[in-house]
Amino acid sequence: MRAPTSEFDSSDEEDFGEEEATPFQISWLSLSVVECSQSLGICSLPGCRYKEIRRNLQKDVAEMRDQGVEDVFVFCTRGELVRYRVPSLLEVYSLNGLRVHHLPFPDGGIYSSTSEFVLNIYFYFIFIYIFFL
């Protein structure tokens, strides 16, 4: 067994251990304040296997579908998905009929300015709006 070099490194032992039996939690926010009838769900990373966390990817994605999730916005980089033991997450979402929007943003990273962030999100949502019309 190798010793982790930092608190963010994964160990070879992480795939072992009992899976969490707790239900997958999604916190729902109403978007009525922006005159939208949809809701925004925020949740932890489905299927995450890191340190003491042992989620089951298939069960978590099934729960998302059961709660009516249709679109998923993923802000993790591919490297972070590997670190948290869900390298195929984007593909699993697609295979389960979810529309995937991958907008990688490195953990701890920042945009050079607030206006850059707002512009990126603004243009992305204009694209989404046009796409779904």
Q: What CATH number is given to the structural domain containing 75?
A: 3.90.190.10
Average pLDDT of span 51-66? 94
For residues 57 and 12, the model is more confident at: 57
Alpha carbon distance 9, 15 (integer Å): 14
- DSSP lists the bridge partners of residue 39 as 30
Contact status, residue 80 vs residue 45, Cβ threshold 8 Å? no
In a domain, 2, yes or no: no
Give the number of domains in the chain: 1
In a domain, 7, yes or no: no
What range defines the domain where residue 19 resides?
A: 12-132
Average pLDDT of span 116-125? 59
| pLDDT confidence tier of residue 12, bands split at 50, 70 and 90 | very low
For residues 26 and 120, the model is more confident at: 26
Q: What is the DSSP letter of 20?
A: P
Is the pLDDT score of 44 beyond 50? yes
